[in-house]
Structure 1
Amino acid sequence: MRYLLPLFIIPFFCLDVLAQQQAALVSNREIVKKEDSTTEILDFRVLPLFGEIKKNQEQQKKDDVFLKNCDENFKDRTEASKFFAERGWEYIGEGQLDTAVYRFNLSYLLNPQNMEAYWGLGVVSFQKGKFEESAKLLSHGLKLDPNNAMLMVDIATVQMNCFVEKRNCEEIDDAVRLLEKSVKLDSTNANAWLKFAVAEYHQEHFDKSWEYIHKCRMLDLSFVDLNFVQQLIAKKEDPMGIFK
């Protein structure tokens, strides 16, 4: 089961505080790595795509054993890759993000062309606040499945968060282009219309934002983010008078 990426409109005055908190956590993690060799091994396994580093002979042997076991227990490596990706999504749902990364890494090891592996890793990176890394992984997944409308929405969500936090992972225009393509491929996706409304809000196109909020509402009211609606009302009242 996949999990939709949330979108938070973070006030700019909060960003410095968040950055300081994240820096402190990173510092603590580095100390643990130096003191605990077990953590170093674990970190290697839970880095997206195994950290994209060249594996040593011992690590390669472990991979070979794993692949051999999968060959003996699955119809083929494509099926095995799908199995581990599904486990990865389950662990995301349980909040076990590092375990999810390891499962998606195994999925990638079995089949580097499995889009789900990159998608799952991108979602975990997003949830960890690593937006640049998330955008890179999700975009790679889209190259493997270029007409995946849901994945386009997730990439646009990451790009909008980058825009809000002024990070270097694409511009708001790129998010808008992806959302335009996504709703052309699937105009019934309420989540896509919600994210489209947010993108227009960030560009101060408030009429368009209201138009897309109402498209979202008509498709599935449960997707309407009332916190966002209140922020939009503060900029311009609902032309249809439904939200007050």
Structure 2
Amino acid sequence: MKTKLSSILFLMIFNSAYTQNCLEKINILPMYGGVKKCKEQLDSDKEFLKEMDKLFPNRQKAMQERIKSAWKYFYENDLDTAMKRFNQAWLLDPKSYEIYWGFGNIVAMKGNPKQAVKYFDDAKKLIPSNSDFYVSSALAYSQMFLNEKNSSFLKIAIKDLEAGLKLNPKNGKLYSMLSTSYFYLNNIKEAKKYLKEAEKLEPSSINPEFKKILDSK
């Protein structure tokens, strides 16, 4: 009887230690939080990859499907599920800028623009092809400027917006944000120039209060 109780006690201690090594909710952190996964989590990854290999002709196709699903949840404001999908896409093939764009957007929306720009910078290394990516990156740098009052962040935001315009010169949001950025740099001439362009392309991108202030200058 003592031997049986000892065995049960040993298993309870072992299982407790095993569970403690399996950190919870790492799938709602970018790249699973960069932590060392436990055996249970690694086995789960293997099963997931095995299933994707059955369903898709290659992992890049599987990754694209996961990214599509991630954006769907993102726009439904289900950020945790979106992060899970982006993580699965990263697990399948970490070479798409959209994965890091997604990581950055979610982190920024959770109130950490400084961490978000790290993921946007990772995305830039993979050559983004969507002008809206640069809107996201510029927003994070602009938020850092507002938090820290460091104009160097605003200058990076302007570079991002200019890069976005090269991809899509008809993206009104980019002009509107350039107007705001130059306003904060006290360059009223440039601010008015870009506001005029934004009005032509996408009037809804302009904050009425900001327009009123700028028109009075």
TM-score range, shorter chain: 0.7 to 0.9
User: Is there any run of 5+ residues in structure 2 with no aligned partner, and where?
Assistant: 1-19
1:230 alignment partner in structure 2: 212
What TM-score comes out, normalization by structure 2 length? 0.83
Question: Contact 2:180–2:191 at 8 Å: present in 1 too?
Answer: yes
Q: Offset of 1:221 from its aligned partner?
A: 1.7
Distance 1:47 1:170, change over 3 A: farther
Q: How does 1:1-244 map to 2 (within 5 A)?
A: 41=24, 43-146=25-128, 148-166=130-148, 171-233=153-215, 236=217
Number of aligned positions between the proteins: 197
Question: Contact 1:162–1:170 at 8 Å: present in 2 too?
Answer: no
Query: Which deviates further from its counterpart, 75-84 or 176-185?
Result: 176-185
Question: Contact 1:91–1:99 at 8 Å: present in 2 too?
Answer: yes
Q: Offset of 1:167 from its aligned partner?
A: 7.7
What TM-score comes out, normalization by structure 1 length? 0.74
Structure 1 or 2: more helix by fraction: 2
Q: Offset of 1:182 from its aligned partner?
A: 2.3
Q: Offset of 1:170 from its aligned partner?
A: 5.9
Question: Contact 2:97–2:128 at 8 Å: present in 1 too?
Answer: no
Question: Contact 2:63–2:93 at 8 Å: present in 1 too?
Answer: yes
Taking the aligned partners of 2:132 and 2:151, their CA distance within structure 1 comes to 19
Taking the aligned partners of 1:175 and 1:215, their CA distance within structure 2 comes to 18
Q: Offset of 1:209 from its aligned partner?
A: 0.8
Aligned residue for 1:195, secondary structure, equals helix
Encode CA deviations 1:104-148: one digit per residue, 9 max, x unaligned. Answer: 111111111021111111111111111011111111112112554
CA RMSD of aligned residues (A): 2.2
User: Is there any run of 5+ residues in structure 1 with no aligned partner, and where?
Assistant: 1-36, 237-244
Question: Contact 2:53–2:59 at 8 Å: present in 1 too?
Answer: yes
The percentage of counterpart residues that share the same residue type is 29
Question: Contact 1:135–1:169 at 8 Å: present in 2 too?
Answer: no
Encode CA deviations 1:38-87: one digit per residue, 9 max, x unaligned. Answer: xx62x211011100112222211110110000000112111111111111
Taking the aligned partners of 1:78 and 1:213, their CA distance within structure 2 comes to 40
Larger radius of gyration: 2
Structure with the bigger RCO (C-alpha within 8 Å, sep 6+) is 1
